[in-house]
Amino acid sequence: MKNNTINKKEIDKFSKIAEEWWDPEGKFKPLHKFNPTRISYIKNNVIDTFKIKDKKKPLEKVSILDIGCGGGLLSEPMKRLGAEVTGIDASEKNINIAKLHAKKNQLDINYLCASPESLKIDKKFDVILNMEIIEHVENVELFIKSCSKLLRKGGIMFIATLNKTLKSYMFAIIGAEYILKWLPIGTHEWEKFVKPDDLINILKKSNLKLDRINGMKFNLIKDEWKISEDKSINYIGKFIKD
């Protein structure tokens, strides 16, 4: 069994299109559309769990580790909300793009080229973001175990990923990649999708308890994502470290 979680094929795939991270009409257009819903879900749940009163900079003094941060699409909004942000990615190209964009926007974000098991850092974080990443790693159990070690007791881990259903194959792969051309063909491999119950069981082994799990649904008419009860394609979960 591999003792690291890096899938070189996946890293190469995203490195090739790294220049497009910040183009809202480029290869990462679906993530740009996802972002407002993800940001508000994270922010509201952090405020709720940590009982934060300051609504102007609600994430001030909250330390966040954004794993598989890519070009920084989530790291930057978290920083703007006041958080102390570390972003890691196994692709050096992604990290360079993220650093450049943060510098241009005068945002102090600690970007490092690393995977969770190779991260050398003397701190535990309040919040860990694993957004649209677990379907691209090797050895999900080792990945979650390594992430859990970086989270403080009582801290929150957010995970967003794709369910392993016929519907997700039809919509996320056939629909999004082949028909609508929202994503480059080959972005996702259905075999790597994870059912919510399987994910919950993997997290339990690393002392991460389910707090809530929601579906994420795309409204074609409004051209936007929203939180939903329907977890058959995309879902997002909030887990608390025991």
Report if residue 96 sits inside a domain: yes
CATH number at residue 13: 3.40.50.150
Report if residue 1 sits inside a domain: no
Residue 235: the pLDDT is: 97
Please give the residue range of the domain that contains residue 202. 8-241
Report if residue 217 sits inside a domain: yes
Report if residue 52 sits inside a domain: yes
Residue 57: the pLDDT is: 86
Q: What is the pLDDT along the chain (242 residues), one digit of tens a residue?
A: 457 898 888 888 888 888 999 999 998 988 999 999 999 999 999 999 999 988 788 999 999 999 999 999 999 999 999 999 999 999 999 999 999 999 999 999 999 999 999 999 999 999 999 999 999 999 999 999 999 999 999 999 999 999 999 998 787 788 676 777 777 787 778 888 999 999 999 999 999 999 999 999 988 888 899 999 999 999 999 999 99
28: helix, coil or strand? coil
Residue 168: the pLDDT is: 84
Residue 1: the pLDDT is: 42
Q: How far apart are the first and last CA of the chain?
A: 27
- Count the neighbouring beta carbons within 10 Å of the beta carbon of residue 41: 19
Residue 67: the pLDDT is: 98
Report if residue 55 sits inside a domain: yes
Of 216, 208, 217, which Cα lies nearest the Cα of 238?
208
Amino acid letter, 86: T
Report if residue 2 sits inside a domain: no
79: helix, coil or strand? helix
Residue 2: the pLDDT is: 56
What gap in Å lies between CA 45 and CA 137, rounded to an integer? 26
Number of folded domains that form the chain: 1
Number of H helices, E strands in the chain: 7, 8
- The residue to which tokens 């992604």 are assigned: 94
Distance of CA 204 to the CA centre of its chain: 19
Residue 170: the pLDDT is: 86
- The HSE-up count of residue 221 (CA atoms within 13 Å, CB side) is 0
